[in-house]
Amino acid sequence: MIVVTTPVVPGKEIKKVFGTVKGNTIRARFIGKDIIALLKNLVGGEIQEYTKLMAESREQAMDRMKTEALELGANAIVNIRFSTSYIMQSAAEILVYGTAVYVE
Query: Which long-range contacts link 58-61 to residues 24+ away (Cβ below 8 Å)?
Result: 58/82, 58/94, 58/96, 60/23, 60/25, 60/94, 61/23, 61/24, 61/25, 61/94, 61/95, 61/96
Report the CATH number that the domain containing residue 82 is assigned in CATH. Answer: 3.30.110.70
For 61, the domain range is: 2-103
Number of independent structural domains in the chain: 1
Reported as a single tens digit per residue, the pLDDT across 19-67 is 999 999 998 766 555 555 566 666 666 777 778 888 999 999 999 999 9
pTM comes to 0.84
Between 41 and 80, whose confidence is greater? 80
